[in-house]
Amino acid sequence: MIATRAYGETAKDARRKAILDAAGHLFEAARSLPTAALIAKQAGLAKGTVYLYFESLEELFGALVLDGWDAALGELEASMASASERGSVNNAFPISFAAMVETRPVLMLLDGVLPELKTRMSDPVRQAFNERLTRRLMQTGERVEAALQLPTGRGVQLLVRCHAMARGLWQSFEAIDPSCAIASSVLPSFSSELREALGEYWRGANADVSPSHG
């Protein structure tokens, strides 16, 4: 019952990925950070092996967040690029963003535990995490600026604000208890809420400031 050994960089990357997948699945199922023992079991490995690939659980979860956002932002960039080609850039961003979020509930779930998680990270781990995440966001920000012909810096700004809206709504809505959400009569579903709210924000963000007839 000893796992096959991962020799070579490719195999090791794959194993690392497998561990992250295991952790992700468990987290999604339980909506709560899994233990090292559980992750190992799910990945078909021994507990110690997990620590061969990650220096601590916090680093592991950090990597999960980072990888998740990397993929999601990549998708977003692709959407923007193709929209840019078709000339229909206008409201593409909030729509693509909402789609991206809805496709990946794990990301929102992970965002929910991030504050708690960061608390427990060691200083260097947290620093590395923050830096990598920031860098990735800024990259997408630049792509957005290019696609929408926005001034420098405006891309990340929009990205961060849309993300904030999504994350905040998620936590109010579906975070833990979909059934007993806030005023389910008034605010029907996370999905429609998100689209509407992002739409409103986007409209305000792109309005000419001058003729503001509130």
Partner DNA sequence: TATGAATGAGTTTTCATTCAT
Partner DNA sequence: AATGAATGAAAACTCATTCAT
Q: How far is CA 151 from the centre of its chain?
A: 25
Please choose which of its own copies, DNA, none residue 57 contacts, taking the beta carbon within 5 to 8 angstroms, the exact cut-off set by kind.
DNA
- Subset of residues 49 to 78 that bind DNA, contact rule: CB under 7 A: 49, 51-53, 56-58
Please choose which of its own copies, DNA, none residue 56 contacts, taking the beta carbon within 5 to 8 angstroms, the exact cut-off set by kind.
DNA
- DSSP 8-state secondary structure symbol assigned to residue 56: S
Binding mask 116-145 for its own copies (x = CB under 8 A): x-xxx-----xx--xx-xx--xx--x----
> Smallest distance from the beta carbon of 36 to DNA, in angstroms?
4
Cβ partners under 8 Å of residue 91, min gap 6: 199, 202
- Subset of residues 15 to 54 that bind its own copies, contact rule: CB under 8 A: 31-32
> Smallest distance from the beta carbon of 42 to DNA, in angstroms?
12
d(CA 38, CA 55): 17
d(CA 25, CA 197): 29
Interacting span for its own copies (CB under 8 A) from 1-9, 10-18, 49-57, 104-112? 104-112
Please choose which of DNA, its own copies, none residue 212 contacts, taking the beta carbon within 5 to 8 angstroms, the exact cut-off set by kind.
its own copies
| Degrees, nearest 5: CA angle 79-84-89 | 85
Under the criterion CB under 8 A, does residue 105 sit at the interface with its own copies? no
d(CA 179, CA 174): 8
User: How far are the Cα atoms of 7, 14, 25, 45, 83 from residue 4, in angstroms, in the given order?
Assistant: 9, 12, 22, 9, 45
Under the criterion CB under 8 A, does residue 66 sit at the interface with its own copies? no
Nearest by Cα to 19 from 161, 52, 10: 52
Under the criterion CB under 7 A, does residue 174 sit at the interface with DNA? no
59 or 193: CB nearest its own copies: 193
- List residues near DNA by CB under 7 A: 1-7, 12, 15, 33, 35-37, 45-49, 51-53, 56-58
